[in-house]
Amino acid sequence: MPVKKRNPLLLRFLIWRTKNMSQRQFVMLLSALIGFTAGLGAVVIKNATHFIQHLLEGKFIANYHHAFYFAFPIVGLTLTLLIIRYVLKRPVGHGIPSTLYAISKKKGIMRSMQMYGSILTAPITVGFGGSVGLEGPTVATGASLGSNISRLFNMNQATRTLLIGCAAAGAMSSIFKAPIAAIVFAIEVFSLDLTLSSLLPLLLASVSAILTSYFFFGSDIILPFDLKDNFVMADVPFYVLLGIIASLCSIYFTRAYFKINDLFKKIDGPFKKLIIGGTALGLLVYFIPPLYGEGYDVINNLLHEDYVHAMGNTALKQYFDNFWVVIALLGGLVVFKIIATSLTFNAGGVGGIFAPVLFMGSTMGHTFALILNHLNILKNPLSVSNFTLVGMAGLMAGVLQAPLTAIFLIAELTHGYELFVPLMITSSISFMITTRFLSHSVYTMELAVRGELITHNKDHAVLTLMDINQVIEKNFIPLKVGMTLGEIVHKGVVKSSRNIFPVVDDDNNFMGILLLDDIRPIMFDKNMYDKVKINELMQSAPEIIDRDKDGVRNIMKKFQDSDAWNLPVVSGNKYIGFVSKSKLLTAYRKKLIEVTV
């Protein structure tokens, strides 16, 4: 294969950079550049989505808009699927989980297609009413830009991962104009080390992105709300109760999400999924208009207690003067939002779950405060807007398992820290209870099940990053079931430099192992060569490594539990080779140096 030649201009720059800039300085420069590009990505995705929504809500369509609630999501999902299938020709993937997978298993290398895949598909999905958010696709776009820019300048894996985190921080900072929360988000979700060498690039990326957002969007923010009510100590028990309710809703959110995903896995073909999922989503959005799109307009209307605009053109609008009708509708939003989100994903849509979490959390907190106030059991009524905001943080802490991000994001969005104490109370309780029942977030659940999740634990992170295929040894001579002792000696022992032999059948299915020590007392007795067969000498392996199922962490545990030095590797019970403990530990040490230097 011919070696790809470097661009002469780039080569000259790299030589100049080596002579004039330290690695640390260059990483700082790249982090600011990546923050800027991530900010631009956010601008493009947001503007494209708003442009589509503006077209669909024009004067002609506005008169019949309610009827189009059913059709729009199906049209958007169809266009998205066609673009993925015939233009991109490969799946786009969910934003943050796909980025975490790239860090865990691809050494932080993301395909160049991911730089524009979400830009082409997410605005169409959301603009036509898909019930998902734009934060995940924006983070994926920025992360891919960060990955490819770092590859362009020959950054190592550790730096590449840091720059992906910078891109994620930049994307979140640009979307929410919350630079501190964006940094915390990158550290919590992407498991970045909190050191000065990582904090400064994250800070530069976040600042660069928010300046980009101010340049294009001005001072407009997604949730323009200033606190009207102060925190009251008497409300603390109700914030505790809200935390418990948030944890229950978080468990419901996560389990419903994966349950619907499992149901759609049984459906063959993307077009069949599109028809079933798109039709179900269209019906949901038709009967519950607030489920249309991201839902930030609904959140803003709830904060101002404007139920007419929050609920949309629903058939029950004439009954809004009835308190329990409003409560029933709000409760329906809590129950059905995650269903609409899951249907959007499984029908082929591209988006994220960040906005649905905020939507569901705000509705939950709002409903909770309204009910307590209506019951007239409190000396002083609760602040409905405060509980709406804190509800968002509670659900974010549970579903995303990112309590610090939840606290700082809501605090920054409200331009102050007046709610800091209730945010801490509700978020911490929601997080603690949810993690008791769900050990991983929506972002990381599937990766964790496959043993591919990066964590803040350095040992676990390094083990996750290791590739088992690189440590499999194949210079072992397989012996066939039914061989005699003579055949074992002449076809195995004489030709092998190893003291262990895998035993397989005619179809290469792994049957057991034979140790040299097992035949040493009789292997020089030629009288036994035709009398003793391998079935009498072989034994079961102390543990078996399944290449398709076992992660490196699990393999390490098998070595520890079995006290073995070599373990056989199979794939679908077919013999592949062996892994030795010494080679595994050597590979671990090399990977540890690689990811920490």
Is-contact 164 99, C-beta < 8 A? yes
Residues of the chain with pLDDT > 90: what percent?
34
**Domain for residue 2, yes or no?**
no
- pTM score, two decimals? 0.77
From 173, 188, 217, give the residue that closes a domain.
217
2 band by pLDDT with thresholds 50, 70 and 90:
very low
For residue 577, the cross-strand partners are: 569
Report the alpha-carbon distance of residue 168 to residue 516 in Å, rounded.
Answer: 54
**452, 521: one domain:** no
Report the alpha-carbon distance of residue 392 to residue 212 in Å, rounded.
Answer: 26
Give the pLDDT of residue 435: 93
Residues of the chain with pLDDT > 70: what percent?
89
**413, 295: one domain:** yes
478 band by pLDDT with thresholds 50, 70 and 90:
very high
With 60 as the cut, is the pLDDT of residue 454 above it?
no
**553, 577: one domain:** yes
Pick from 317, 285, 301, 287: nearest CA to 132: 285
**121, 175: one domain:** yes
What does the DSSP assignment read for 535-578? GGT-B--S--EETTT--HHHHHHHHHHHT-SEEEEEETTEEEEE
**38, 168: one domain:** yes
From 405, 421, 456, give the residue that closes a domain.
456
Query: 386-415: per-residue pLDDT in tens?
Result: 999 999 999 999 999 889 999 999 988 877
Buried b (16+ CB within 10 A) or exposed e, 312-336: bebeeeeeeeeeebbeebbebbbeb
Average pLDDT of the chain, as a whole number: 84
**204, 273: one domain:** no
- For 396, half-sphere exposure in the C-beta direction (CA atoms, 13 angstrom radius) is 26
**377, 435: one domain:** yes
Is-contact 545 567, C-beta < 8 A? yes
Domain that holds residue 249: 233-456
Report the alpha-carbon distance of residue 174 to residue 24 in Å, rounded.
Answer: 25
Q: Look at 56-65, 159-168, 427-436, 536-545 and tell me which has the smallest mean pLDDT.
A: 56-65
Q: Look at 103-112, 293-302, 492-501 and tell me which has the smallest mean pLDDT.
A: 103-112
**273, 395: one domain:** yes
User: For the CA atoms of 427, 428, 433, 434, what is the dihedral angle to 10 degrees?
Assistant: 50
**242, 377: one domain:** yes
Give the pLDDT of residue 67: 63
With 70 as the cut, is the pLDDT of residue 572 above it?
yes
Pick from 185, 183, 177: nearest CA to 199: 183
- Would you state the structure tokens that stand for residue 53, as one six-digit string? 């929504």
With 50 as the cut, is the pLDDT of residue 550 above it?
yes
**Domain for residue 228, yes or no?**
no
Give the pLDDT of residue 577: 92
384 band by pLDDT with thresholds 50, 70 and 90:
very high
Q: What CATH number is associated with residue 87?
A: 1.10.3080.10
- Would you state the structure tokens that stand for residue 436, as one six-digit string? 């008791």
From 456, 481, 506, give the residue that closes a domain.
456
Query: 335-353: per-residue pLDDT in tens?
Result: 999 999 999 999 989 998 9
Pick from 41, 34, 39: nearest CA to 160: 34
Question: Residue 487's Cα: distance from chain center in Å?
Answer: 53
Pick from 181, 98, 177: nearest CA to 142: 98
Higher pLDDT residue, 415 or 486?
Answer: 486
**Domain for residue 563, yes or no?**
yes
Query: 234-254: per-residue pLDDT in tens?
Result: 899 999 999 999 999 999 999
Give the pLDDT of residue 448: 62
Give the pLDDT of residue 209: 93
**149, 238: one domain:** no
Report the number of distinct structural domains present in the chain.
3
Is-contact 484 529, C-beta < 8 A? yes
Query: 163-204: per-residue pLDDT in tens?
Result: 888 988 999 999 888 899 999 988 888 777 667 777 899 999
Give the pLDDT of residue 456: 46
**Domain for residue 290, yes or no?**
yes
**Domain for residue 127, yes or no?**
yes
Report the alpha-carbon distance of residue 63 to residue 298 in Å, rounded.
Answer: 21
With 80 as the cut, is the pLDDT of residue 232 above it?
yes
Query: 57-75: per-residue pLDDT in tens?
Result: 765 454 555 566 778 889 9
**Domain for residue 340, yes or no?**
yes
Give the pLDDT of residue 366: 94
Is-contact 78 278, C-beta < 8 A? yes
What does the DSSP assignment read for 15-53? HHHHHH--HHHHHHHHHHHHHHHHHHHHHHHHHHHHHHH
Report the alpha-carbon distance of residue 391 to residue 404 in Å, rounded.
Answer: 14
3 band by pLDDT with thresholds 50, 70 and 90:
very low
Q: What CATH number is associated with residue 537?
A: 3.10.580.10
Give the pLDDT of residue 393: 95
**450, 467: one domain:** no
Give the pLDDT of residue 126: 92
Question: What is the distance in angstroms between the CA of the first residue and the CA of the last residue of the chain?
Answer: 31
**279, 335: one domain:** yes
Give the pLDDT of residue 12: 77
Higher pLDDT residue, 226 or 564?
Answer: 564
